[in-house]
């Protein structure tokens, strides 16, 4: 269910945390697995695709200011990958999914962890 629109959406820090959480899930899913598992394990395939979609969806909603704080990330490529996973679901390349999971996600995790360590916490509302 969607959140109450009156509450507003997540801020950039929360979106980066969503990206990190999903990326950590990807790392967990591929641990001890091999590329061939994508061809035989539909649950693994769906889990990886979904987690990578979450990374891309959150990335698409990070503001320009937030992206500038983590300029090492290939924001456009992350969002483009999400578009392919969502809109070309029938033509997803399992090799590319695997490569993202095992080659790109570790660097993504490192960049997000480093950014979140220094990211200011939002002000707490008074009350």
Q: Give the tens place of pLDDT for each residue, 88-100.
A: 888 899 999 999 9
For residue 48, pLDDT over 90 is answered with yes
Closest to 81 in 3D by CA, of 112, 113, 103:
103
Distance CA 67, CA 75 (A): 7
Confidence of residue 29 (pLDDT cuts 50, 70, 90): very high
Name the E strands within 1-127: none
Distance CA 91, CA 10 (A): 31
At residue 33's C-alpha, the angle toward residues 73 and 88, to 5°, is 55
Mean pLDDT of the chain: 92
Q: Are 93 and 49 in contact (CB under 8 A)?
A: no
Closest to 41 in 3D by CA, of 3, 81, 94:
94
Distance CA 38, CA 8 (A): 37
For residue 1, pLDDT over 60 is answered with no
Residue 67 CB partners (closer than 8 Å, separation 6+): 73, 75
Q: Are 38 and 94 in contact (CB under 8 A)?
A: yes
Q: Rounded to two decimals, what is the model's pTM?
A: 0.89
User: According to the model, what pLDDT value does residue 127 have?
Assistant: 52
């Amino acid at each position: 269910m969607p959140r109450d629109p009156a509450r507003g959406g997540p801020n950039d820090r929360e979106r980066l945390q969503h990206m990190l959480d999903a990326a950590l899930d990807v790392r967990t899913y591929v641990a001890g697995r091999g590329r061939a598992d994508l061809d035989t394990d539909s649950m693994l395939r769906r889990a990886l695709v979904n987690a990578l979609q979450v990374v891309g969806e959150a990335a698409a909603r990070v503001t320009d200011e937030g992206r500038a704080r983590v300029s090492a990330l290939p924001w456009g490529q992350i969002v483009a990958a999400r578009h392919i996973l969502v809109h070309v679901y029938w033509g997803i390349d399992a090799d590319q999914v695997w490569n993202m999971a095992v080659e790109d996600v570790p660097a993504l995790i490192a960049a997000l962890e480093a950014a979140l360590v220094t990211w200011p916490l939002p002000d707490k509302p008074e009350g």
